[in-house]
Amino acid sequence: MLLDDIRSYLIAQGVVQSGTSIPLPPWPCFEGYVTDDQDQTVALFETGGYPADTLGRENERVTFQVRVRAARLDYSTARAKWLAIFNALQDSIPAPGYAFVQAMHYGPMHFNDDKGRPNLTANFRVMKARS
């Protein structure tokens, strides 16, 4: 699955940590949700995609989002982690069957959550062989 492959790749690259049990490691990576009680987190979300590229539909053209969150008012830490993840993913081949992972924009989209924690996101498109 897409998010499993991306998470495994980010762990192998050393930019996020494995493990989701309490206590959480620094920079854990979650799929499809983000916990409220951890400041330094990374989350992956599927965001749809595009129609098949050929009539034979050999390839999946899917998209996903990475969200990085740091402690309250700690934009610089969030930005540094966002950039490490962005650089690890841009033009990568995270697992067999992938043709590419490419960013859909080159700067983070930023918002603060209700606790004042900076959240930086990036959206990526993926070309993957249909399995």
- Which range has the worst mean pLDDT, 10-24, 35-49, 75-89, 101-115? 10-24
Q: Where are the domains of the chain?
A: 2-129
Structure tokens at 52: 């098949």
Residues 87-112 have pLDDT tens digits of 999 999 999 999 999 999 988 999 99
Beta-strand pair 118-129/98-103:
antiparallel
Residue 16 buriedness (CB in 10 A; 0-12 / 13-18 / 19+): buried
Are 50 and 125 a contacting pair, CB within 8 Å? yes
Indicate whether this model's pTM tops 0.85.
Answer: yes
Provide the pLDDT confidence category of residue 54 given band limits of 50, 70 and 90: low
User: What dotted CATH number matches 2-129?
Assistant: 3.30.2000.10
